[in-house]
C-alpha cells in the first residue's frame, strides 16, 4: 500500500494557451480508490500520465510514501497504467501478455507461469492463457489488461477510462470486479472517468476537475449533499438553483425565506448566494410547516420507479421526484405544497 501526494502539480504543453493542469494538489491515502472526474479536456488523463511517468510535469511534485518519484523513470516507479484501449500485444498469447512484465524483469519461467495462472484466476478468466487477444471479447481483453498490470504487484494502479469501451452489462460486471480486486489487494488505485455515476459507485474519494484545476476533492456523498459550486452540483445532476441571500441560518429568496440547517453549513457562503436542493430531497404535500411554499404542477413524467415533477414556484421552477406511483398522484395543474427540508438545502456562491 502506498500513500500518493501530488503537490502543486502543473503541466503546460508547448504552444498551449493555458495549462492543461495547474496547481493540482491532493493526497491519496494508502490503499484507497480515487476517481479523477471531469469533462473531456479537463486534465484528468494528463494528471494520471504524470503519476505514471509518461509525461513530465512542468512544475510541482509527486511523492510515494514521502519520497519524490519524479527523478525515477516510469518503469521503476511501481505505478502501472491500464489504458483505455488495452494495448495488448496481438501476436502474443494471453498468458504471454499477462506475464510480459515479469519476463522483462528476468523472472524464472516457472514463477511466471504460476503467477499468470493466479492472475487469470483473479480476474475470473482461467484456462484462456493460450488464446490470442483477437479471440477475446472487449470485456475479456479489459480483464487481461488488468491482470497484466497487477502481476507486477504495483505500488499504484492507474486506470484510464476502464469501462468506457464496454456495454452496460459488461460495465456492471467489470465495475464489481475492479472493486473486489482493489479491496482484496488493497492497492492504491486512481482511475479516470467522465461518468459521475461510475465515480460514485467505485471511488472512496472523487477529485472533480474543470479546466485543468481541481475544484473539489471529497467523498461521493459530499458532492451530492454539499457541492462547492453550481457547476459541481450540475455535474452530479443538480437542477434546482434559486438566487438567494444568506444571513446565518436564514436564506431569503423571491419565493420566501428558508431556514438553513445542513451539516457542514458553517462553511457555506454568506451574502449573495444561490440556494440548491436535489429533486429527490424536496417533499410534496408534506403538510404546513417551516420551509413550505405553495406551487403548481407544470409537468409530470412517470418513469416507473419514480415520478418526476416540474413545479412552478412564483417566477422559478423546480424539479421534484416522488418514488413510485402513489395513490392520488399529482396531475398537471394541481396546487401543491413544496417543502425544502432545512437539513437538505445547500448554499453555493452566486
* Tens of pLDDT, residues 116-158: 999 999 999 998 999 999 998 888 899 999 999 999 999 999 9
Same domain, 171 and 267: no
Q: What is the pLDDT of residues 6-44, one digit of tens each?
A: 999 999 999 878 899 999 999 999 999 999 999 999 999
Same domain, 49 and 94: yes
Scanning the chain, the segments in alpha helix (DSSP H) are 44-52, 94-98, 100-104, 109-122, 138-150, 168-185, 196-202, 220-225, 230-235
- The whole-angstrom separation of Cα 76 and Cα 55 is 15
Residue 232 lies in a domain: no
- Output the average pLDDT for the chain: 92
Residue 230 lies in a domain: no
289, with CB counted inside 10 A (0-12, 13-18, 19+), is exposed
Residue 312 lies in a domain: yes
Same domain, 337 and 192: no
Task: Tell me what the mean pLDDT of segment 276-283 comes to.
Answer: 94
Residue 139 lies in a domain: yes
- The whole-angstrom separation of Cα 14 and Cα 93 is 39
* Whole-number pLDDT of residue 51: 97
Full domain range(s) for residue 344? 239-349
- The whole-angstrom separation of Cα 152 and Cα 143 is 15
Q: Which residues pair with 336 in a beta bridge?
A: 295
**Which of 225, 255, 289 lies at the terminal end of a domain, its last residue?**
225
- The whole-angstrom separation of Cα 147 and Cα 102 is 12
Radius of gyration, alpha carbons of the chain: 24
Cell 494557451, residue located: 17
Residue 234 lies in a domain: no
- The whole-angstrom separation of Cα 122 and Cα 284 is 48
- The whole-angstrom separation of Cα 119 and Cα 98 is 8
Same domain, 169 and 293: no
CATH number of the domain bearing residue 274: 2.40.50.140
Same domain, 20 and 110: yes
Same domain, 84 and 210: yes
**Which of 181, 197, 225 lies at the terminal end of a domain, its last residue?**
225
C-alpha cell at 144: 487481461
Same domain, 206 and 330: no
Residue 231 lies in a domain: no
Task: Tell me what the mean pLDDT of segment 329-346 comes to.
Answer: 93
pLDDT tops 60 at residue 48: yes
Same domain, 59 and 179: yes
H/E stretch holding 138:
helix 138-150
H/E stretch holding 173:
helix 168-185
* Whole-number pLDDT of residue 267: 85
CATH number of the domain bearing residue 35: 3.40.50.300
Same domain, 17 and 124: yes
**Which of 225, 259, 280 lies at the terminal end of a domain, its last residue?**
225
Same domain, 189 and 280: no
Residue 233 lies in a domain: no
Q: What is the pLDDT of residues 190-241, one digit of tens each?
A: 999 999 999 999 999 999 999 999 999 999 999 999 999 999 999 999 999 9
Residue 77 lies in a domain: yes
Same domain, 260 and 304: yes
How many folded domains does the chain comprise?
Answer: 2
Closest CA to 287 of 342, 344, 338, 250: 338
- The whole-angstrom separation of Cα 156 and Cα 139 is 22
Closest CA to 332 of 309, 316, 348: 309
Cβ atoms of 233 and 348 closer than 8 Å? yes
Same domain, 124 and 266: no
* Whole-number pLDDT of residue 198: 93
Cβ atoms of 315 and 280 closer than 8 Å? no
Phi-psi region of 252 (alpha: psi -120 to 50; beta: other; left: phi over 0): beta
Amino acid at each position: 500500500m502506498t500513500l500518493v501526494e501530488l503537490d502543486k502539480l502543473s503541466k503546460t504543453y508547448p504552444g498551449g494557451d493555458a495549462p492543461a493542469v495547474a496547481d493540482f494538489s491532493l493526497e491519496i491515502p494508502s490503499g484507497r480508490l480515487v476517481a479523477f472526474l471531469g469533462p473531456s479536456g479537463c486534465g484528468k488523463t494528463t494528471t494520471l500520465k504524470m503519476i505514471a511517468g509518461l509525461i513530465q510535469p512542468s512544475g510541482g511534485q509527486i511523492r510515494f510514501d514521502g519520497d519524490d518519484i519524479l527523478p525515477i523513470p516510469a518503469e521503476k516507479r511501481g505505478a502501472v497504467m491500464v489504458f483505455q484501449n488495452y494495448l495488448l500485444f496481438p501476436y502474443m498469447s494471453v498468458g504471454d501478455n499477462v506475464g510480459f512484465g515479469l519476463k522483462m524483469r528476468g523472472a524464472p519461467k516457472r514463477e511466471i507461469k504460476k503467477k499468470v495462472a493466479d492472475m487469470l484466476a483473479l480476474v475470473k478468466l482461467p484456462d484462456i492463457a493460450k488464446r490470442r487477444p483477437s479471440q477475446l471479447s472487449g470485456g475479456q481483453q479489459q480483464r487481461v489488461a488488468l491482470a497484466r498490470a497487477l502481476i507486477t504487484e504495483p505500488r499504484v494502479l492507474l486506470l484510464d477510462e476502464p469501462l468506457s469501451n464496454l456495454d452496460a452489462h459488461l460495465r456492471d460486471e467489470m465495475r464489481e470486479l475492479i472493486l473486489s480486486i482493489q479491496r482484496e489487494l488493497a492497492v492504491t488505485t486512481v482511475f479516470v472517468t467522465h461518468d459521475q455515476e461510475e465515480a460514485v459507485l467505485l471511488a472512496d474519494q472523487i477529485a472533480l476537475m474543470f479546466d485543468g484545476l481541481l475544484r473539489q476533492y471529497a467523498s461521493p456523498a459530499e458532492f451530492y449533499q454539499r457541492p462547492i459550486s453550481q457547476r459541481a452540483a450540475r455535474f452530479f445532476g443538480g437542477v434546482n438553483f434559486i438566487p438567494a441571500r444568506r444571513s446565518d441560518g436564514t436564506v431569503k429568496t423571491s419565493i420566501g425565506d428558508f431556514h438553513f440547517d445542513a451539516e457542514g453549513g458553517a462553511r457555506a457562503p454568506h451574502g449573495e448566494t444561490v440556494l440548491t436542493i436535489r429533486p429527490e430531497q424536496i417533499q410534496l404535500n408534506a403538510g404546513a410547516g417551516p420551509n413550505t411554499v405553495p406551487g403548481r404542477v407544470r409537468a409530470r413524467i412517470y418513469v416507473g420507479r419514480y415520478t418526476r415533477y416540474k413545479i412552478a414556484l412564483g417566477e422559478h421552477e423546480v424539479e421534484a421526484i416522488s418514488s413510485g406511483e402513489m395513490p392520488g398522484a399529482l396531475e398537471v395543474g394541481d396546487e401543491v405544497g413544496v417543502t425544502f427540508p432545512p437539513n437538505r438545502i445547500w448554499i453555493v456562491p452566486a
